[in-house]
Amino acid sequence: MRPSRAKITSYRPRNAPPGWEAVADQVRATVAASAPWVSYRIERLLHVVGRLAIWCHGRGLAADPEVWLRHETIDAFVLAGYADLAPRTAQTYRSWLRQVRAALAWAQRGESTPVALSAPSERTAPYTPAELARLRVVEHQAHACFFGRCRGWWTVDRPPPALAR
């Protein structure tokens, strides 16, 4: 038996919750099937897939990875089941679960894996303070033109003199 297979078959969460036995075999099978295509440590996959399965079981969902690994189920689990975690940790768990889903979809149905997208983890303001000031001037000018107090025509390509730089 390879070490990874032994880890999978002997895995049991610390202080296993009551629903563990009902989902244990499916969790192990899910991780075993996806492990060759997912680059995360098996213990981490077992932990997060196990918590997802137990959460689903507690809500009356079927003990079926097809149900657990739906995008909407993963999102609900991360938002509700991990409400006490830091946002980055929740994002990490969501990523792991979605990669398990993608690996199973590819292995079982021949579906292609989704394109990997990334974004900065910190929110960025859509506009700088200077850009917001310029937009307020445009808003003021548009309001003035609407009520007939416009001083000449302007377009987005040719802004009013206050905005031209």
* Cα–Cα distance for residue pair 43/138, rounded to 1 Å: 56
Average pLDDT over residues 34-38: 83
Where do the structural domains in the chain lie, given as residue ranges?
Answer: 3-109, 125-165
- Residue 2 reports pLDDT greater than 50: no
Q: What is the pLDDT of residue 126?
A: 77
> Given a cut of 90, is residue 49 above it in pLDDT?
yes
CA angle centred on 33, ends 27 and 35, rounded to 5°: 95
Model confidence over 63-88: pLDDT tens digits? 888 899 999 999 999 888 777 778 88
Contact 26, 63 (CB under 8 A): yes
At 137-146, the pLDDT tens digits run 888 777 776 6
Phi, psi of 158, deg, nearest 5: -125, 85
Based on its alpha-carbon atoms, the radius of gyration of the chain, rounded to whole angstroms, reads 26
Q: Tokens 């309001």 sit at which residue?
A: 143
